[in-house]
Chain A
Amino acid sequence: MGKRIAKEVSIAVAEAVKQCRVDVIAAYPITPQTHIVEHLSELVANGELDAEYITVESEHSAISACLGSVATGARTFTSTSAQGLALMHEILFITSALRLPVVMVVANRALSAPISIWNDHADIMAQRDVGWIQTFAENGQEAVDLVYHAFRVAEDRRVMFPAIVNIDGFTLSHMIEPIELPDQEQVDQYLPPFKPRYKLDPRKPISIGPVGIPEIYTEAKKAQDEAFKNAYRVIIKAWDEFEKIFGRRYRPVETYRMEDAEVALLIMGSLAETAMTAVDRMREAGKKVGLVRIRLWRPFPLRDFVRAVKGVKMLAVVDRALSPGATGGPVAVEVRSALYQVPGRPRVVSFIAGLGGRDVTVEDFEEMADKAYFYLKKKPKESYEMIGVKE
């Protein structure tokens, strides 16, 4: 077992990428992802990591180069945030449809305008439908562990889909936390060398990316979708295996004090600790509040989620992104729809909080839980509500 040492999360993530023995990195700097790619550059420059680092001229080219690289059979990593992720948008769909298992860490940040370097989830929520495996880390240890997991799952021959690990920009990426980096042998045991099903090689020519005429497009999409849904099983197995080797257990959905909860807060990402404190305080005050955290966002773990919220009367979804004019924040809309067919389902109230670096405090969570209780008696006027906004 490796030692637990205090490290900046971005540095630890870069170290984990190194331990995954990546062959190629193509990335373009953007706050708050920068420390990850700077550290990787350093590792390559001083020979600690034997990889090609392509200093591309944009994120669009970063992801494009990653596709070329994976297709040639190299393990490939990139990382970005916000505007950079938005610039990649077009290519993200192509990555998954062509089954090219790039792994990317997104240091989540608000989207412009107004331009903001601070944290929320607008960037990743705009990428909901790109067909990548998507997970959200709560803390530094989890961020690192999800990187190993992402490579292992993405490159699994039964999967072959790209994966994004989301870490909250600054509030997680720049934190100094005690993190245990496993020994290299353990990582090697967990992550076998990349052996793609097909690759670009003159010894066995294939054509990747042909025109999908109407007589095949639907079938191609169906095949992609089925394969993607099947990735779920491999994701779970890879976490089981992870537990065996590293001793830490991960599930698609985490719960906290949910046993008899009437009201549950639902979050993704690094706000969990604050939310747990709020739950503890409310429990002390006699309110039956619990917390649900979604770790695996795509493919959406429907069963795990439904099980996690069973018996709850009101689910208060805390979205970190705004979908203007929609019927709720993106996560709220998703779970409302997920629950619709469930008998005795909880009601869902949608809160938008923590935009562009606005703090979400224990008090804010308490306010949301209280509102959730209130809405049990009286229906909310609006389909979603912004929290922490000065009137």
Chain B
Amino acid sequence: MLKELAKFKGFSAKNLPKEEPFAPGHRACQGCGEVLALRLALKALGMNVIAVSATGCMEIISSPFPYTSWRVPWIHIAFENAAAVASGVEAALKALKRKGRFPKNRRVDVVAFAGDGGTADIGLQALSGALERGHDFVYICLDNEAYMNTGVQRSGCTPYGAMTTTSPPGEKSIGQMTWKKNVPAIAAAHGIPYVATATPAFFLDLMNKVKKAALVNGPAYVHIYSPCPTGWGSKGEDSIRLARLAVETRIFPLYEVIEGKYYITRKVTKPKPVEEYLKLQRRFRHLTEEHIREIQQRVDAEYERLLRLAECL
């Protein structure tokens, strides 16, 4: 176990921080799981942070001038560079502390937020660079499995079979034709100290992971599954239900990779069939039984792979 984490007791339902670094009055859709993930992540981090956002839903809904939902210092530059901007913030803090222009002992966590598009696709290079350089920062991918801000286009994180506006099902297509890109594995391949997956349905787990990500020295990556009723064609009230089902069906397993070692943080011994999850969302409505079988097989295989990763080490 990393020594930075030794003292961390973890949050519990009883000792949740009171502060809300993210204010209400934002413009996210009703039942948005992404803004909930964002809110919980910030709650875990507290007020001593500098936040960087990539362009995307969360940036748009939080900052239509003259209103901001950010109660912590925040900067948004562009879509593909949150990790690079965060690198600059982190380097500046380091230099200023060393030169006595920022209080040396004042802890400031630098955190970058981006959607799945801003992370897995257009921002992957900047992310990889920042992880490889070893900046002490947290990168949080809020994965709602498509480019929502621009009207639900597919991304590298869109799951197989899903309907988006650029992966429409048709005679020659089942919708998204590729399997979801495994960004946490890419992050882990950089040999960074901490990688985790989380979902707002398990909010304590989410908050603890984000806090740990901040506590470790060096880069940390947290991939948060974030239901999007608007893009998925699901009911707003079902966002938490879907986030839970994604875990219970093994579609989105919860784990940590600490110093290269995989730990499954929520073992799913009796998985629910993927169909239970798929049928609640319009984006999967066109799938046939055969497609669903195919997805089930893939999910099973991926989970096996993950189990092996967690065991053999």
Contacts and interface: CB of A to CB of B under 8 A. Distances in A.
The short answer to whether A and B are in direct contact, CB under 8 Å, is yes
Interface of B: 47-50, 52-53, 59-60, 63-66, 68, 70-78, 80-81, 83-96, 98-99, 101-102, 108, 125-126, 128-130, 132-133
B77 A94 contact: yes
B186 to A, nearest CB: 14
B113 to A, nearest CB: 13
B71 A209 contact: no
B87 A65 contact: yes
A57 interface: yes
Given A51-B95, A205-B70, A211-B65, A60 B126 contact: yes
A199 B243 CA distance: 37
A76 B60 contact: no
10 contacts: A54-B133, A55-B133, A58-B125, A61-B130, A65-B88, A65-B91, A72-B92, A74-B92, A209-B76, A210-B65
A61 B87 contact: yes
Contact of B129 (A52, A57, A204, A207): A57
A66 interface: yes
Nearest to B112: A68
A54 B68 contact: no
Given A65-B88, A207-B68, A213-B64, 5 more contacts: A24-B92, A26-B87, A52-B95, A205-B70, A209-B74
A86 interface: no
Given A50-B98, A65-B88, A72-B93, A211 B80 contact: no
A200 interface: yes
In order of increasing CB-CB distance, the 3 nearest A-B pairs are: A68-B88, A57-B129, A65-B88
A206 B70 CA distance: 8
A67 B59 contact: no
A212 interface: yes
A357 interface: no
Nearest to B60: A211
A208 interface: yes
A69 B126 contact: no
**Of listed A62, A204, A207, residue having the most chain B CB within 10 A:** A207
Given A56-B84, A205-B74, A72 B64 contact: no
A212 B65 contact: yes
Given A23-B96, A73-B96, A208-B75, A64 B81 contact: yes
A202 B108 contact: yes
A224 to B, nearest CB: 14
A64 B48 CA distance: 22
A222 to B, nearest CB: 14
B73 A60 contact: no
Interface in A21-70: 23-24, 26, 50-52, 54-58, 60-62, 64-70
Contacts of A23: 92, 95-96, 99
A76 B89 CA distance: 11
A360 interface: no
B214 to A, nearest CB: 13
Contact of A57 (B66, B73, B126): B126
Nearest to A53: B91
